[in-house]
Each structure stands twice: as C-alpha cells, then as structure tokens.
Amino acid sequence: MAQLFFKYGAMNSGKSIEILKVANNYEEQNKSVLIFTSGIDTRDEVGYVSSRIGLRRKAIPIFEGTNILQYVKDQEPTPHCVLIDEVQFLNKEHVLQLAEIVDTFDIPVMGFGLKNDFQNELFEGSRYMLIYADKIEEMKTICWFCARKATMNLRVDGSGKPVYTGDQIQIGGNDSYYPVCRRCHSNPPL
C-alpha cells in the first residue's frame, strides 16, 4: 500500500542527494519515477534537483498554479513513484494533491524539504506535509559550529552576520544559511 512520506532536515542534511538515490534505485529496477521541484529555486536553473556534491537531474518545476495531480494522471505509463524536492515551498493545495495521488492511484509520494525557516516558523508546504504525511522522517546533520544535531537554519548576510528578520523565502546555499543547533541559532559563535 502506497504512502505519503515527508523527509525533512536542516540545510546540508542530504535531502537532494537522497532523492537522486531513490530515483536511481527505482530506475535500476525498470520502474519509472516522476521528479518534481519547486519552480522558485533558481540556484541551479529552474527545474533541476541539484546536490551539494555535484549531482543534478532534470525535474518538473512546480509553480503556484501547477496541478501535480493532473500531471501524474496524464502520464503513460503510470509512474511507480513520485518524488518532490523543496516540498517546503508547496502550498496546501499541492500537498492535498500529493495525498490524493497516494490515496487514489496507490503511488508512493516522497516529499523532501526543510521543516522550519530561519525564524523557526513552519513553511506552508512543511506544515501540511506534517499534517497529511503517513510517514515522517528526520534527516540528520550536524551543527555548523558544534557537534550537536542541527535542527534549525541560520540565515547570514553577505558578511556572515546572523539575520533574524526578513522575508521567509530567500533562496540560497552555504552562502546564506548554516545548519545549526538551537543553542548556536540563538547565539552563533561568529
């Protein structure tokens, strides 16, 4: 029986590389996958899943009005699995479509993304994945500054100073965010 999975972690926890690995595992068994990613992530072109270790793969970009359910329904043959990167940037309707893909078509859907933003507020997509997912798994990494588990994302400005206010969404990598523990988020040793 298919399930909706939410695999979340702080920055640098290996979410994108995990998607590429899962896709490869399915395809080695001649099982098709559909890979989606947020259309607002422009770090490595729109419509690509890219890992920090240099692997990348074309994906279907999701924008505000994208109907993921209809896209999956229109596929021939039916995919064996649907993978979503940057799931935190989805809206409630997108997440409900993912749940319907699982419930109606018995296709497993795995969403990977951040749980909380730099102010430790839930992203919309993450909030609804936490509500609707059948399985929730934390992908772990270590704090940028100490040996504790990173559970938060610290936004920094161009000079490396912490930023605690601003827009929820600012696309960036190690130049803009560090994975940190709770203590280092409040008091980073910068």
Taking only the tens of pLDDT, the chain with its 190 residues reads 899 999 999 999 999 999 999 999 999 999 999 999 999 877 777 888 878 777 889 999 999 999 999 999 999 999 999 999 999 999 999 999 999 999 999 999 999 999 999 999 999 999 999 999 999 999 999 999 999 999 999 999 988 899 998 888 777 666 789 999 999 999 998 7
pLDDT given at position 41: 74
Could you please state the CATH topology (level 3) that the domain comprising 4-140 is classified under: Rossmann fold (3.40.50)
pLDDT at 91 (0 to 100): 97
Residue 116 φ/ψ, nearest 5 degrees: -120, 155
Instruction: Say if residue 172 carries a ligand binding annotation.
Output: yes
> Any binding-site annotation on 128?
no
**Which pLDDT value is given to residue 173?**
67
Residues belonging to the active site: 86
3-state secondary structure of 127: helix
Residue 177 annotated as part of some ligand binding site = yes
Residues of each domain in the chain carrying CATH 3.40.50.300: 4-140
Give residue 54's pLDDT.
78
Query: Running DSSP on this structure, what letter comes out for residue 140?
Result: P
φ, ψ for residue 20 (rounded to 5)?
Answer: -65, -35
Confirm or deny that 10 is annotated as ligand binding. yes
Model pLDDT, residue 56:
82
pLDDT score for 125: 97
Q: What is the pTM of this model?
A: 0.93
- Cβ-proximal residues to 137 (8 Å cutoff; 6+ apart), any chain: 5, 6, 7, 8
Q: Distance from CA of residue 88 to its chain's centroid?
A: 6
* Residue 170 among known ligand-binding residues: yes
Please state, in angstroms and rounded to a whole number, the distance separating the CA atoms of residues 185 and 146.
Answer: 11
Beta bridge partners of 58: 48
